[in-house]
Amino acid sequence: MMTKVAVVLSGSGFLDGAEIQESVITMLSLDRAGVSYQCMAPDIEQLHVVNHLTGEVSEGERRNVLVEAARIARTNVIDIALANPNEFDAVIFPGGYGAAKNLSDFAVKGADSTVQTDVLQFARAFAATGKPMGFVCISPTLIPHIYGADASLTIGSDADTATAINEMGGIHVNCPVEDFVVDEERRIVSTPAYMLDVRISEAATGIEKLVNKVIEMTNGK
């Protein structure tokens, strides 16, 4: 039976949704490995909409996270509230500020953040199966909410974000863009990607390694 991975998106566009390059690299890496995937996102309104040309918030504009995620998914994308964790062998969260604005409120509340209800319910249920999860860029800030205290993870080397993660009970490990951190006990893999100021090829190397490690872990290695 073919391995199937859930890819959790948070909109479309790195300033207010899923980082498009990270998301596409994740899906491409899965496909190249012969692994099927299902994109999903919460059916909720975004925190806000950002004009990616100017970097400014577009006052009065509203967008839906699931609708925007469909722009990246290209294929069928489902509401995470309807997803069955038992149907997947692994889960990967690409980054982008949407992970910290829509999937959680980390961008606003930092160490006092919470995770969106449907996302948290799915992620905790999946974590309980003992199967692996991968987290890219800023999305590792979700890990302490999902797994509790003492999970090892990385967002690269940003001191402020690392401090917030440690305050939340996580154990931050500095990591270069082309590498990843593994919490073997909890079966978690994380990589910095665009949390660091890097080229797309450098981000791709780390993401591809993460994807391959997650697939390896689905095979019991």
Q: What are the residue boundaries of the structural domains of the chain, listed by start?
A: 4-218
Cβ neighbours for 84, distance < 8 A, ≥ 6 positions apart: none
Mean pLDDT of 206-214: 98
Q: Are 18 and 196 in contact (CB under 8 A)?
A: no
Q: Is 137 a catalytic residue?
A: yes
**Helix-strand-coil split of the chain, %, nearest 5:** 40, 20, 40
Mean pLDDT of 90-102: 98
Where are the extended beta strands (E) located within 52-183?
A: 77-79, 90-93, 133-136, 152-153, 171-172, 181-183
Catalytic residue among 90, 127, 137, 143: 137
pLDDT of residue 75: 84
Could you give the C-alpha distances from 96 to 12, 89, 181, 220, in angstroms and in order? 9, 23, 19, 30
Q: State the chain's mean pLDDT as an integer.
A: 96
Regarding pTM above 0.95, the answer is yes
Query: How large a percentage of the chain has pLDDT more than 90?
Result: 96
pLDDT of residue 44: 98
Instruction: Confirm or reject CATH 3.60.15.10 for domain 4-218, answering yes or no.
Output: no
